[in-house]
Amino acid sequence: MIAGPLTITGGRLVLGDGEPQPGALRCEGGRIVALGDVTPHEGDVVFDARGALVAPGLVDLGVFAIDKPAFHFGGITRAALMPDQGPPLDHPARVRFAAQSGKPDLWVHPLAAATRALEGSDLAELALMRDAGARAVATGRAWIGDSGVMLRLLRYCAMLGLVVVTHAEDAGVTGSAVATAGEVATRLGLPSAPAVAEALAVARDIALAEVSGCHVHFRQVTTASALDLVRTAKARGVQVTAGVTPAHFILSDLELVGFRTFCRMSPPLRSDTDRKAVIAAIADGTIDVISSGHDPRGPEDKRLPFADAEPGMAGAETLLPLTLTLVRDGVISMARAFDLLSASPARLLGVDAGRLAVGTEADLAIIDPVRPWVVDSDKMAASAGNTPFDRRPVEGRVTALFKGGTKID
């Protein structure tokens, strides 16, 4: 369904650079047709933003479940779905179904499974899945340990023009670890692995990206040593990008005290030194994407002994306000925040969205950046409230959301 003409007035436009600018925005045929000093046309639906931010809808790169209420609460209009489903997204029919599953008020961009059943051995039908709607290829929750398989994957994806989204932990080092090796894991008696497991995986995949010419995106890079590798690779022109979730720039492994299973993550929470390194990497451009890692888990997965609990957090609703803490702290600008949340993931997926520009799709969020609220795991819109940020006061709330110029109620 094509939306009728819409003009949003009285807002502050979040553009690609600089501070938000007062102005209006007009949409027609589901796309932005004018920005700035815009007068509504006769017959337009007029929405008064009343001084709020008018920003691109968030593009969440790498969610594990389609959870519309949580996505809409958080301002997410597009979500890239990880292949770790039941059954995995390793067949064109499953990819095609996933690509249609959210429309019309949410667009799902499936990430094709890199290997059959995500087992890390035989390549899946990547070209057919691309034609069925896959926007990139992903290794899922696991790292492909066989370097020969990974190189074949990267060479094939380079030929197909697909980005490979990879998990960055050497499974041979991590084993069954549930925490990062250090004082906290030792005191709690938790199975742990050294943080270098991430750097080992990143180093190998950078080397293979350089050989193959394929664009590799590390879905989460959470340690200083691995971030240094990404920074150096970018400087010499290797096609690599990196992402992170708010958990790894706000929380450290000190949160594990008390065996809080809502803080059981993959990769696990790191030292405070690594947490600060992530913030520095966001500030200097080493990290390209901030995503939610949305992975709602019910009591059957989380109300268990820490080592038995499943990793993951419900992150869609807190993605925006937690990222805005970096703006308030002076780490990044508002424009940079929405590049991390919207424009950069849209570029990686090859979709014409994620920014306010004439001709792009009218996926828009109206945001009050200083509206206070308290995260409450019992009242979340998500299908499960497994958030490590329970009871945390935050600022920043989406007050209206538009998909293709149509208001989402």
**Chain mean position to CA 95:** 19
DSSP assignment string, 245-307: -THHHH--GGGGTTT-GGG--SSPP--HHHHHHHHHHHHHTS--EE---B----HHHHSS-GG
pLDDT score of 1 more than 50: no
- Compute the distance between CA of residue 218 and CA of residue 376 in angstroms, rounded to an integer: 30
- As assigned by CATH, the class of the 57-353+373-393 domain is alpha beta
- Render pLDDT for 113-149 as a digit per residue (tens, 0 to 9): 999 999 999 999 999 999 999 999 999 999 999 999 9
- Render pLDDT for 31-40 as a digit per residue (tens, 0 to 9): 999 999 999 9
pLDDT score of 3 more than 80: no
Specify the pLDDT at position 354: 96
Mean of the per-residue pLDDT values for the chain? Answer: 96
Of the candidates 109, 114, 99, the one whose C-alpha atom is nearest the C-alpha of residue 59 is 109
Distances (CA, A) of 120 to 81, 86, 149: 19, 17, 7
- Render pLDDT for 222-256 as a digit per residue (tens, 0 to 9): 999 999 999 999 999 999 999 999 999 999 999 99
pLDDT score of 216 more than 60: yes
10 Å CB burial of residue 37 (0-12, 13-18, 19+) is exposed
Specify the pLDDT at position 382: 87
Q: Tell me, what amino acid is at 88?
A: P
Of the candidates 227, 225, 260, the one whose C-alpha atom is nearest the C-alpha of residue 244 is 227
- Render pLDDT for 284-327 as a digit per residue (tens, 0 to 9): 999 999 999 999 999 889 999 999 999 999 999 999 999 999 99
pLDDT score of 41 more than 70: yes
Local confidence band at 383 (pLDDT 50, 70, 90 cut-offs): confident
Tokens of 73: 């609460």
